[in-house]
Amino acid sequence: MLHCAFLRSTSRVRAIVTASLTAARSDARHRHYGTRGPKEISTFDTGSRLEVQHPRWPHSLLFSYPWLRDHCRCADCFNHTTAQRRFDPTHMHLNIRPARVSATPEGLELKWPDGHTSAYEYKFLWQNTYEGRRTAHKPPQQLWTAHTIPKPELTMVSLGELSDPEKNGIKKLIAAIIKYGFAFISEVPTTEEATRSAVEKVCPIERNFFGEMWTFGNTGMDHLDTAYTSEFIGAHTDTTYFSQACRVQVFHCLEAACEGGESLLVDGFSIAQQFKNKHPEGYTFFSSESFPSEYIEDGQHHSCLDTIFRHNPETGNLTQFRYNIYDRAPLSSIPQEKMQEFYLHFMNLTKVIRNPKNEQWLKLEPGKVLLIDNWRVMHGRKGFTGNRVMTGCYLGNDEFTSSARVLGLQLE
């Protein structure tokens, strides 16, 4: 009768139930029940959506009934072995409404007109809705400049820690890469094989036309890239010519140069923030206008058209910074009438990047492997004399972020 009365009324009906399981499973359609003390969990049927209030939530959430039916996690609707959906949402009515709503301290329970019952944990509801995620979202990244770069102990993990599951070395390493954009593995033997072994503890190595692992000096040109010379290289991100740039770049200096060769790190997310504050119109321009990058050598021609700043479509937060002044292709993606604007913004951005206050120079040492988040931190090097031997590899975004999620780490 309560259900019928609600349908005839334009005002919302609110029912109070106790926290006991028996009362929580009563047939009343609208629930409001108390836990210990004054804290309460409430549910309200607004007609097309279900409003839920929870004492641990900063605000209530409104759930679409089709969304609730589609997200049932019972064994008939969701395969818990494969973590795949079984329910086909195209078979439900868009005006579906539950016959009964029950709130318990453990979660929400809905019984549908066809007799099917769905149960949801409150944590699942909060973490898997747009409104909940936006409210709870706090990016884990800590931006830095040369003055505020983190102390070495915050970004250093020894090979021994990495190899001992009880020391959580892998989690510490990945967490540092996410938070600061770079990290080191120390005490690694100075060979390509040892470097590979250490890095593969993080995730599988990405293969591309460079191969998996690469080792090179400055005595030959295995590939037509300035990295294979002894020239100065300014701050940049790698593989902007791939549709998905490599996520992590790995460097291990097996033999240091006699003079020079210091490495450069610049926090691209910090650059983005500074650029946005100082030149907001330029930030908007490079967030919407794409321009091409390319790599060309015998048998290879890679090209990608993309923006400098890429954002998460859900949160709007910056997720990737793409900047490489060397791999720019002919600028054919922007109309000539916008060229003055493009070069003005590009000069302003480059000026921020090259500000010495943003540049961190360091000497890579044999035995210490550097891992850089290539979606965030730029790298470069000073010119050098003498022989300098480097080994390294790339880690793909999908494999790296998978490892992070398995360890329960927040990426954005």
Long-range residue pairs from 91-98, CB within 8 A, at least 24 positions apart, any chain: 92/66, 94/66, 96/65, 96/66, 96/69, 97/65, 98/29, 98/50, 98/65, 98/68
* CA dist., res. 342 & res. 277, Å (int): 18
> 125 and 395 in contact (C-beta within 8 Å)?
no
Distance CA 152, CA 160 (A): 17
- Strand order of the sheet with strand 263-267? 233-236, 377-381, 263-267, 360-362
Q: Which two tokens stand for residue 337?
A: 């009438």
Those residues with Cβ within 8 angstroms of residue 11's Cβ, 6 or more apart along the chain or in another chain: none
Element (H, E) at 235: strand 233-236
| 79 Rama class: left (phi>0) / alpha (psi -120 to 50) / beta | beta
Question: Could you give the CA distance from residue 308 to residue 125 in angstroms, rounded to a whole number?
Answer: 34
Question: Exposed (0-12), middle (13-18) or buried (19+): which is 228, by Cβ within 10 Å?
Answer: middle
Q: What is the pLDDT of residue 226?
A: 73
61 three-state secondary structure: strand
Helix axes 169-180, 397-406, angle to 10 degrees: 120
| pLDDT of the residue at 139 | 86
Q: Using alpha carbons, select from 252, 256, 299 the residue that is nearest to residue 393.
A: 252
List Cβ neighbours of 5 (8 Å cut-off, separation of 6 or more): 13
Q: What proportions of the chain, in percent to the nearest 5, are helix, strand and coil? A: 30, 30, 45
Percent of the chain at pLDDT exceeding 90: 77
Q: Compute how many other C-beta atoms are within 10 angstroms of the C-beta atom of residue 43.
A: 25
The pLDDT of residue 82: 95
> Taking the chain (412 residues) in consecutive chunks of 10 residues, what is each chunk's mean pLDDT?
40 36 37 41 92 93 96 96 95 94 93 96 93 80 97 96 95 98 98 97 95 79 67 94 97 90 96 98 98 94 97 92 96 95 98 98 96 98 88 97 96 88
Q: Is 357 in contact with 228 (CB distance < 8 Å)?
A: no
What Rg, from alpha-carbon coordinates, does the chain have? 27
User: How much is the pLDDT for 301?
Assistant: 96
Looking at residue 231, what is its pLDDT? Answer: 85
Give the tokens for residue 30: 């609208």
Q: Which residues 6+ apart lie within 8 Å of 308 measured at CB?
A: 286, 287, 321, 322, 323, 349
Q: What's the confidence (pLDDT) of residue 138? A: 78
Q: Which pLDDT score, from 0 to 100, does residue 279 have?
A: 98
- For residues 122 and 52, give the distance between their C-alpha atoms in angstroms, rounded to a whole number: 9
